[in-house]
Amino acid sequence: VDIDWEYPGALGATSGDGSCKAGDTCSRTADQTNFTTMLAALKADSRMNVGRSGSGFTRKFISAAVRANTSGDPKNVAYDYPGLNNSVNFLNVMCYDHYGAW
């Protein structure tokens, strides 16, 4: 199961045209915690056990697509990377999500 929430907790993250301003409901700072909490709940859900294999249950993998952390970008606040580390099997780093004047 791969979850791709771009970018929880970063103001204006859901509006590509820059129309998201302070006070809008485009994104909430609490969504960073909500994202990590949601993934932890998903990992703990017994339905993630999909069957028996050998001596135990085979679990579904949980992953999250996250942006590469670049300094100076306000979207860096979007993810709790240490918290996500405990909630997923692996992270898919969106390295293609870079832009600039180059």
CB atoms within 10 A of CB 28: 13
2 residue type, one letter: D
* Total-model pTM: 0.69
**Rounded Cα–Cα distance for residues 88 and 92 (Å):** 10
Q: If pLDDT is split at 50, 70 and 90, which confidence band does 38 have?
A: very high
Q: If pLDDT is split at 50, 70 and 90, which confidence band does 32 have?
A: confident
Q: If pLDDT is split at 50, 70 and 90, which confidence band does 76 have?
A: low
